[in-house]
Chains A and B, each alone.
Chain A
Amino acid sequence: MKAQMKKKLTDYDMQQLIGQVLRVGVILSGTIATIGGIWYLFQQGSGTPHYGTFSGEPAGFTSLTGIYKGILTGSAAEIIQLGVVILIATPIIRIIFSLFSFILEKDGLYVVITLIVLSVILFSMFGGLKV
């Protein structure tokens, strides 16, 4: 009975933690994207959009170093892109937190399952699927 109680408690703790990670990620990325967006409109609002043809984004928007360099030069588009990257990272960070929770709960099966999901995503990130 006592072991049961303890397991319930840690599952509950994990739920609160995961919920909090998701919440913070969305609020943080949303705030950064909004600030970047307003600034972007000041910088480029009078221009003309040209999204009818696909040209692919320049390197500045597609890599972390590119985004970092853009922010240093005060370019608003890269600030938005930073918000986007944080948003994409949010569920991935959630997986990492789940992994630690399962380790603490000594749930070996779910440590393995979580590691599989994490490696699929890491493969997707660094596997050269850019083409």
Chain B
Amino acid sequence: MTILTFTLILLAGAYLAGLAGSLTGLGGGVVIIPLLTLFFHVDIRYAIGAALVASIATSSGSASAYVKEGITNVRLGMFLEIATTVGAVAGAIIAVYTPVNTVAIVFGVMLIFSASMTLRKKNEQILTEGSRMSDILKLNSTYPSPEGPVPYKLKHIGRGFSVMTIAGVLSGLLGIGSGALKVLAMDTAMRVPFRVSTTTSNFMVGVTAAASAVVYLQRGYIDPGIAFPVVIGVLAGAITGSKILMKINVNALKLIFSIAITLIAINMIYNGFNHKF
């Protein structure tokens, strides 16, 4: 295989990964790592570098629209980014002392968790009573809807903050956005309305990934020959995804993807235990 064919196949694969990531809400990076390691037999460290860059691209691209529409809670994102960036830097340090096969196993477990999260019921309930902490930190806000702005309040800020730190560590260790954990922290603990939690999570992924990407860039994990087809492909796939998302019923698709991703995850865990990485 020449570099030209490698690039073209990778470009197509990254496009599909970006499309799948966007339609399921998993993000582009998550599908890139198994694609690179299991299919292209690329070393997992290069895969992590490429996935981080892809996460920043899709996060920034889609966050730009949501922020402008005022759905994203910028203060909530900013506050929780303390947790995710500290976690991400810690994750990048832990990565040095973690054998690659262990990284692959942890990644597989995280992948299964993420897949199951996409099938979960959304939090449609909106709190009218928030905690004192939420008030002090000015986290209570509104989001736009066809019927005008909807006010919401939050609680369990400390619990959400702790889960965010774990999300940051996993992001730094595995090179993914760990959007699923971020949404879990916001939806389940802090009771952030679903539309706000997904867009705010997306908004935070860029900064979280950048915190560990600056370390990985210096460590030589980011190869231009892999990064460019991955970034362009994932970005294009995510754009297509966002365009067709409103027109199709994604429920069946989500189920198919979740099953496929679980099988991939089992494959990664199996290979990890057999020291194939």
Chain A residues within 8 Å of B, Cβ to Cβ: 11-12, 14-16, 18-20, 22-23, 25-26, 29-30, 33-34, 36-37, 40-41, 44-49, 51-58, 61-63, 77-78, 80-81, 83-85, 87-92, 94-95, 98, 107, 109-110, 113-114, 116-117, 120-121, 123-125, 127, 129-131
Residues in chain B within 8 A of chain A (CB atoms):
1-4, 6-7, 40-43, 45-46, 53, 56-57, 59-61, 63-65, 67-68, 70, 72, 74-75, 78-79, 81-82, 85-86, 88-89, 92-93, 96, 137-138, 206-207, 209-215, 217-229, 231-232, 235
CB neighbours (8 Å) of B92 from chain A are: 124, 129
Q: Is the interface of B mostly helix, strand, loop or mixed?
A: helix
Given contacts A83-B231, A124-B212, 16 further A-B contacts (CB under 8 A): A19-B65, A30-B232, A51-B46, A56-B221, A61-B224, A81-B222, A84-B217, A87-B53, A88-B56, A91-B207, A91-B209, A94-B60, A94-B206, A110-B78, A117-B85, A124-B215
Q: B53 to A84, Cβ gap below 8 A?
A: yes
Q: Are A49 and B1 in contact (CB under 8 A)?
A: yes
Enumerate chain B residues within 8 angstroms of A85, measured Cβ to Cβ.
217
Interface class of chain A by DSSP: helix
Chain A residues whose CB sits within 8 angstroms of the CB of B72 once the complex forms: 15
Contacts of A25 in B (CB 8 A): 60
List residues of chain B with CB within 8 A of the CB of A125. Answer: 214
